[in-house]
Amino acid sequence: MSPDLSIQLAPQNSRGLLLSNPVMTSSGTFGYGTEYAELFDIQRLGAIVCKATTPEPREGNPQPRLFETTAGLLNSIGLQNIGVKALIKEKAPIWAGWQLPVIVNIAGDSVDDYAQLASELDDVDGISGIEVNISCPNVGAGGAAFGAYPEPAAEVTRAVRNATSLPVIVKLTPNTADIKEVAVAIAEAGADAVSLINTLKGMAIDIEKKRPEIGNIICGYSSPALKPVALAMVYEVAGAVNVPVIGCGGITCADDALEFIMAGASAVQVGMATFNNPRASLDVLEGIEGYMEKEGIKSLKEIVGAGRG
Ligand SMILES: Cc1cc2nc3c(=O)[nH]c(=O)nc-3n(C[C@H](O)[C@H](O)[C@H](O)COP(=O)(O)O)c2cc1C
């Protein structure tokens, strides 16, 4: 019998968020899913998280917005997206025909923006959950400003919680003094799950031109080098909250994902690894399946948190 990889990410929500397996794609690295549907069977994944969506369409920050460093990528996309109305009209009907859940990542400049987005997305066919992005390091207003401290993070969470019955995941920033405190405040404010981490703050300077490589100066840094940092944060947060934790940051293969699961993550998100290998998320899934078969593990739940020591 093949192992049971299914996982419930919103056990306290009456609608629930049941994934057939724990492998998700992370926001901003997998478009709307449609872009990858022709490259491999994306329906096999646990869930897709789409690019951050704002109340109005956004063109994002001026180019250049990506810069490759010795060990990783700086990005300053600035939340370029089609806006919530176009998402509901053009993308959700496609997702409604898919068997895997699609989660919409939302971002705003104010608490009201988040509440409005959550209420517009409530009861839209094809949308199974919301991921609240209070952790984007490369936008002026909102973004990580809400995620750095417990009280503003809880305020956004409460507003979203009151505006929708959809499962609510809140995505945490590593750019904070104590990620545990923020996570606890968010869980108490009604989040069904937390995901972590978003990018670290980073920058690069062109020493010939004597100016920052990216116009927006401070960017989001992602890299396989993030993994130990993200893993430690997942470990800490999973020990502090009683809602499911979704691990993300530097995952390039199944072994990485298994480390997150054993640290206490119920699911994982594959991010920039997709840029090197478009089917990285599927490779991660197949590797987890292979590991479980080899080790005789019947259910994923047996290994969630198994490596906490
Ligand atoms: C180009 C790019 C765009 C991103 N856009 C978003 C976004 O819109 N919303 C969000 O919550 N995270 C966004 N992220 C962060 C990723 O989802 C992920 O949290 C981060 O990159 C760490 O994971 P990784 O090391 O596996 O890439 C983006 C990351 C990259 C590289």
User: What average pLDDT is seen over the chain?
Assistant: 95
The dihedral through the CA atoms of 25, 28, 32, 33 has a sign that is: negative
pLDDT value at 140 more than 70: no
Across residues 259-264, what is the average pLDDT?
98
The predicted pLDDT at position 78 comes to 87
Q: Which two tokens stand for residue 257?
A: 């994902």
CA-nearest residue for atom 23, ligand 1, is 249
Q: For residues 204 and 53, what is the distance between their CA atoms, to the nearest angstrom? A: 27
Tell me the mean pLDDT in the region 31-52: 96
Element (H, E) at 222: strand 219-222
- Whether ligand 1 lies within 6 angstroms of the CB of 139 is answered as no
Within 10 Å of residue 209's Cβ, how many Cβ atoms? 8
Span 78-93, pLDDT tens digits = 889 999 999 999 999 9
> Among the atoms of ligand 1, which is closest to the Cα of residue 226?
25
User: Going by C-beta distance under 8 Å and a sequence separation of 6 or more, which residues neighbour residue 138?
Assistant: 61, 75, 76, 77, 78, 216, 218, 219, 220
pLDDT of the residue at 133: 95
Among protein residues, the one with the nearest Cα to ligand 1's atom 3 is 28
The answer to whether residue 139 scores a pLDDT higher than 70 is: no
Task: Answer whether 249 contacts ligand 1 (Cβ < 6 A).
Answer: yes
- Burial-class residue 207 by CB neighbours within 10 Å (0-12, 13-18, 19+): exposed
Q: Is the CB of 25 under 6 A from ligand 1?
A: no
* Residue 186 structure tokens: 């968010």
133 lines ligand 1 (CB under 6 A): yes
Q: What is the mean pLDDT of residues 241-269?
A: 98
**18 pLDDT exceeds 90?**
yes
The answer to whether residue 142 scores a pLDDT higher than 70 is no
Percent of the chain with pLDDT over 70: 97
Percent of the chain at pLDDT > 90 equals 92
